[in-house]
Amino acid sequence: MIKMNFRKAATLGVLGIIFSIGCEAPQKEIAMPETDLSSENLIPMPSKIIATNSGFRLDQFTRIETSSDDESFQVVATYLTEKIAEKTGLRLETNAREVETTDPVIYLLQEENKQWLNEEAYILSIKKDSLILEVPTAKAAFRGIQTIRQLIPEISNDTLSEHSIWPISTGTIEDHPNFEYRGSMLDVARHFFSVEDVKKYIDLLAYYKINVLHLHLSDDQGWRIEIKSWPKLTEIGGSTEVGGEAGGFFTQEDYKEIVAYAKVRYMMIVPEIDMPGHTNAASVSYPFLDGTGKTPQLYQGTRVGFSTFNTRKDTVYSFIDDVVREISAISPGPYFHIGGDESHATSKADYLYFVNRVEKIVQKHGKQLIGWDEVAQADLDSSSIAQFWDSERNAKMAIQKGMKVILSPAKKTYLDMQYDTLSKHGLHWAAYIPVDTAYIWTPETYVEQIPKDMILGVEAPLWSETISNIEELEYLAFPRVIGYSELSWTLEENRDWENFRVRLANQTPFLDMMNVKYYPSPRIDWVKSNRAYKEILKD
């Protein structure tokens, strides 16, 4: 029996020798079934797949090793063991001190010196005895382990050996993202969602390599983030929501918990404070902010465009400075989203003056400004970013200013749009967006005159006027958000609706395991997962 310290051996560069010894060792040679890596149901589709039609043996003897002493690799490895345990019940050891070389190994290997296309690129080499994930960074390792999770079969094969085996198709996957910004937005202002709900959404998004969660933290109906220097924002402004229910807000500790949870999943939180419109809840809390001349009242309806800050008062900017400072201090990401949409109660001149002034505040606190596409009309710096939702004209103005653009066209990416006339939740002012419409468009060429290198990425916003709990959130977001993950990660030449449709139909084991109440669109031939069968049998 050959035993050795795996990490030491790896750093000595004898990895190949170990594996070949492992292959030759007769003790545990188990004949694996033929499989095809290129027909696995991976979403988003990787850049390149080469199948070698055998199986890696994932079983109770499999070990997970990391090459790097970097703590973050250990965290990624632990995350993978947890996810393998949830799916299979296997409790694998990571960085076990002594390893039998005949045991299958999942190896997270940091290769800083390779010519990587970007910091999230990875190469997965799957052989019979080893599954090696080569990466430049721990972030890339996190993306790569999502692919590994997706390759693990839902149920074990119990005919190959005396113990259960989850065969993983062999071959090579080379992968990297098409866009660096792959996001979804959640509106916690119209209806409030708890920390637990947000964490569940983060978990679901991370599985599909989405790396941004934009939180819409304030609107006319509610202010949802504690600001220590202005406590009435949440005491008063957070006290209600659409429909008159209780509202709620994140304390700064709650928000930090979300940020930390997202960080482990290599997801950035983009905080948004919407202004100068969409500010009724703030103005009810502190009436000096108001610029409408009316006395603001708590609002539980769904109209937009009736509120505005007073853009000509210095005290309003001192207030904004405090808000941006406090939120920026607990937001490690580079961005601060200032909203800026639908300011119909603000004059054009006031609006432009406001956006220019707020940009300086955002920059003073070390952040880059993001705003809905209207902000591009102001005199913004090229480091600021416009989020295109409605006006191509605004998006083009942004490009002329050298600003990058995030694509969130309402007609294609608004998760709050109904699937069709029968949808239980959602609106349809922009369009009905069935699952195929959501997927069949090309971000790279959607707006003429926006070259690909000026597109930061794609984001799917979920506005919450018509949804008030996690089941309703899931109904609107799933399955469409899975398609947006592919539109933002996968290269254009590898995207294909008919092919995606089949892979999407096979997401049911994951969605059922996660207890996601997705909308079972009749346009998809959903595969019944084992879990769903069990539940049907129980009924």
In the stretch 340-379, what mask flags binding to ligand TNX with x, by CB under 6 A?
Answer: -xx-----------------------------x-------
Amino acid at 473: L
In the stretch 463-502, what mask flags binding to ligand TNX with x, by CB under 6 A?
Answer: x-x-------------------------------------
Q: Is the dihedral of CA 390, 396, 397, 403 positive or negative?
A: positive
Q: Which residues contact 66 (CB under 8 A, 6 or more apart)?
A: 7, 73, 74, 76, 77, 94, 95, 107, 108, 109, 110
**Residue (372 or 510) nearer to ligand TNX, CB:** 372
Residues 429 and 413: beta-carbon distance below 8 Å: no
Residues 93 and 168: beta-carbon distance below 8 Å: no
**Residue (277 or 443) nearer to ligand TNX, CB:** 277
Q: Smallest distance from the beta carbon of 375 to ligand TNX, in angstroms?
A: 11
Q: Smallest distance from the beta carbon of 330 to ligand TNX, in angstroms?
A: 24
Contact with ligand TNX (CB under 6 A) among 4, 96, 264, 427: 427
Buried b / exposed e along 148-180 (16+ C-beta atoms within 10 A): bbbbbbbebbeebeeebbbbbbbbbbbbbbbbe
Which of the residues 292 through 321 are near ligand TNX (CB under 6 A)? 304
Q: Smallest distance from the beta carbon of 58 to ligand TNX, in angstroms?
A: 43
Residues 237 and 281: beta-carbon distance below 8 Å: yes
Which of the residues 323 through 342 are near ligand TNX (CB under 6 A)? 341-342
> What is the C-alpha end-to-end distance of the chain, expressed in Å?
50
**Residue (414 or 439) nearer to ligand TNX, CB:** 414
Q: Smallest distance from the beta carbon of 89 to ligand TNX, in angstroms?
A: 42
Binding-site size for ligand TNX (CB under 6 A) equals 10
Angle at which helix 138-151 crosses helix 195-207, to 10 degrees, equals 80
**Residue (319 or 389) nearer to ligand TNX, CB:** 389
CB atoms within 10 A of CB 254: 17
Q: Smallest distance from the beta carbon of 483 to ligand TNX, in angstroms?
A: 19
Q: Which of 505, 496, 500 is nearest to 525 (CA)?
A: 505
Chain-centre distance for alpha carbon 365: 25
Peptide bond just before 177 cis, omega within 30 deg: no
Contact with ligand TNX (CB under 6 A) among 107, 166, 223, 414: 414
Given the residues 272, 342, 359, 486, the one annotated as active site: 342
**Residue (144 or 222) nearer to ligand TNX, CB:** 222
Residues 104 and 59: beta-carbon distance below 8 Å: yes
**Residue (23 or 304) nearer to ligand TNX, CB:** 304
In the stretch 253-292, what mask flags binding to ligand TNX with x, by CB under 6 A?
Answer: ----------------------------------------
**Residue (241 or 342) nearer to ligand TNX, CB:** 342
Q: Smallest distance from the beta carbon of 465 to ligand TNX, in angstroms?
A: 6
Residues 427 and 381: beta-carbon distance below 8 Å: no
Distance CA 255, CA 224 (A): 10
Beta bridge partners of 369: 336
Q: Smallest distance from the beta carbon of 341 to ligand TNX, in angstroms?
A: 3
Active site includes 342? Answer: yes
Q: Which residues contact 493 (CB under 8 A, 6 or more apart)?
A: none
Which of the residues 444 through 463 are near ligand TNX (CB under 6 A)? 463
Catalytic residue annotation: 342
What residues line the site for ligand TNX (CB under 6 A)? 304, 341-342, 372, 389, 414, 416, 427, 463, 465
